C-alpha cells in the first residue's frame, strides 16, 4: 500500500532560533510540562520496506520474457497439426489458459514500478485490463473445468466449450473494468488511484478479487470434501490445474485487507501492523506475477495426464476385398 506517513524535515533554509539558558529556565518554571511519550512514538514516521520498487524492474522483465516463451511453447505444442492424432478433450480449455497466461506476461513489464514517464494513460488502462482480465478468465475457466469435469470438449456437447469460453472471457472483462477505470499515470507511472469519489470502483475490485481468487478455490475444496463425506452428487474433478490458485489466493486476501484499511473498517493501530500489511501486499503481487511462468508448466502436465488416461482412438476397420465370382465367370 505504501501510504505510511513520512515527515518532511526542513534543511538548509529552515529558520533557526537561539534562546538563552535564562529564557528556558523561566519557561520551565512557568509551565509544568508533562509530555506523553507514547503519543510521540505513535506519531513517528512509519516506513515500510518495499519489495517491489524501482530496483525490481529486472524481475518484472525476466518474468515477462520467461512467461511469454513458456506460453508460446505450450500454444505451439497444442495447436500444431502433429498433435492432432492424439485425442485430448481438454485441448480448447488448455489453449484458452495458455492465451490468458501469455496476455498476463505481456502486461507485466508495463506495470513495473521502475518505468516512469514511459506509459501513457491508454497503455496503462490496457495493461491493467490484460493483467486482471486474463487472471479472472483463467480462474473462471479452471473452476468451470473442475465443475464440468470430462464433459468439456467431448463430442456429446460440441458447443459447450466455445460458448462457455466466450461467456467466461466476457465476465472476466467486466470484472476487470473497475481496476481499469481507476488506473492512471498522474504520479508519473502507471498506478491505481482510488479516491473517495470513486469508492464504488475500489469496492467492486476488492470484491471481485476476494471472491474469484480466494473464495472460489475454498468453495471447490469444500464441495469436494462434502461430496466425499455424503457420497451424493457429482464431485468436483480434481486436476493439477487447481495449483494455479496457489499463486493468486494470497493476492485476493491482500486486496480485501487493503480495502478494509482504506475504508476505515479495519484500523491498524501500530506501525508493525502497517508494515506487515505492506509486506503482505508486495509478497502477494510477486507470487501472482510468478504464475505466468508456472502456469504453462501446469498446462503441459495437465495435457500429459489427460493424453495418457484418455482412451486411444479406435483404428479404422480393415475391409477385405470381395471374392471374385469364379463360378459366374464360367460359361
Q: Which residue, 245, 294, 237, 310, is CA-closest to 91?
A: 310
CB 67 within 8 A of CB 105: yes
Sign of CA dihedral 33, 34, 39, 40: positive
CA 94 to chain CA centroid, Å, is 18
What SS3 class is residue 118?
Answer: coil
**All 3 cell numbers of residue 141?**
475457466
Q: What is the pTM of this model?
A: 0.78
Rounded to whole angstroms, how far apart are CA atoms 179 and 199?
11
CATH of domain 54-307: 1.20.1070.10
Tell me the sheet residues that pair with 184: 191
| pLDDT string in tens for the chain (331-residue length) | 444 434 333 344 443 444 444 544 554 454 444 444 444 344 456 776 777 888 888 999 999 999 999 999 999 988 876 555 455 667 888 899 999 999 999 999 988 887 765 667 888 889 999 999 999 999 999 998 888 765 554 444 556 677 888 999 999 999 999 999 888 777 667 777 767 777 888 899 999 999 999 999 999 898 888 888 887 766 677 788 999 999 999 999 999 999 999 888 888 888 888 888 889 999 999 999 999 999 999 999 988 877 666 555 444 444 445 555 545 444 3
Amino acid at each position: 500500500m505504501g501510504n505510511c506517513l513520512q515527515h518532511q524535515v526542513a534543511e538548509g533554509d529552515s529558520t533557526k532560533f537561539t534562546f538563552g539558558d535564562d529564557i528556558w529556565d523561566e519557561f520551565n518554571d512557568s509551565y509544568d510540562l508533562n509530555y506523553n511519550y507514547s503519543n510521540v512514538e505513535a506519531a513517528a514516521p512509519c516506513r515500510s520496506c518495499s519489495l517491489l520498487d524501482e530496483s525490481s524492474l529486472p524481475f518484472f522483465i525476466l518474468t515477462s520474457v520467461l512467461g511469454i516463451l513458456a506460453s508460446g511453447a505450450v500454444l505451439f505444442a497444442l495447436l500444431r497439426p502433429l498433435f492432432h492424432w492424439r485425442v485430448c478433450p481438454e485441448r480448447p480449455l488448455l489453449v484458452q489458459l495458455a492465451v490468458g497466461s501469455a496476455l498476463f506476461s505481456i502486461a507485466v513489464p508495463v506495470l513495473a514500478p521502475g518505468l516512469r514517464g514511459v506509459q501513457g494513460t491508454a497503455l496503462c488502462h490496457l495493461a491493467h485490463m490484460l493483467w486482471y482480465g486474463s487472471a479472472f478468465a483463467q480462474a473462471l475457466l479452471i473452476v468451470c473445468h473442475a465443475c464440468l469435469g470430462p464433459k468439456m470438449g467431448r463430442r456429446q456437447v460440441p458447443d459447450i466449450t466455445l460458448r462457455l469460453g466466450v461467456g467466461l472471457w466476457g465476465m472476466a472483462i467486466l470484472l476487470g473494468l473497475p481496476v481499469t477505470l481507476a488506473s492512471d499515470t498522474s504520479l508519473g507511472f502507471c498506478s491505481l488511484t482510488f479516491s473517495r469519489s470513486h469508492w464504488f470502483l475500489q469496492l467492486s475490485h476488492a470484491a471481485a478479487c476476494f471472491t474469484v481468487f480466494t473464495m472460489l478455490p475454498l468453495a471447490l475444496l469444500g464441495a469436494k470434501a462434502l461430496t466425499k463425506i455424503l457420497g451424493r452428487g457429482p464431485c468436483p474433478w480434481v486436476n493439477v490445474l487447481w495449483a494455479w490458485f496457489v499463486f493468486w489466493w494470497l493476492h485476493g486476501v491482500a486486496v480485501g485487507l487493503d480495502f478494509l484499511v482504506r475504508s476505515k473498517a479495519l484500523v491498524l493501530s501500530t506501525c508493525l501492523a502497517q508494515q506487515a500489511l505492506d509486506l503482505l501486499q508486495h509478497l502477494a503481487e510477486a507470487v501472482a506475477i510468478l504464475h505466468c511462468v508456472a502456469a504453462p508448466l501446469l498446462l503441459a502436465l495437465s495435457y500429459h495426464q489427460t493424453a495418457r488416461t484418455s482412451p486411444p482412438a479406435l483404428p479404422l476397420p480393415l475391409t477385405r476385398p470381395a471374392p471374385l465370382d469364379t463360378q459366374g465367370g464360367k460359361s
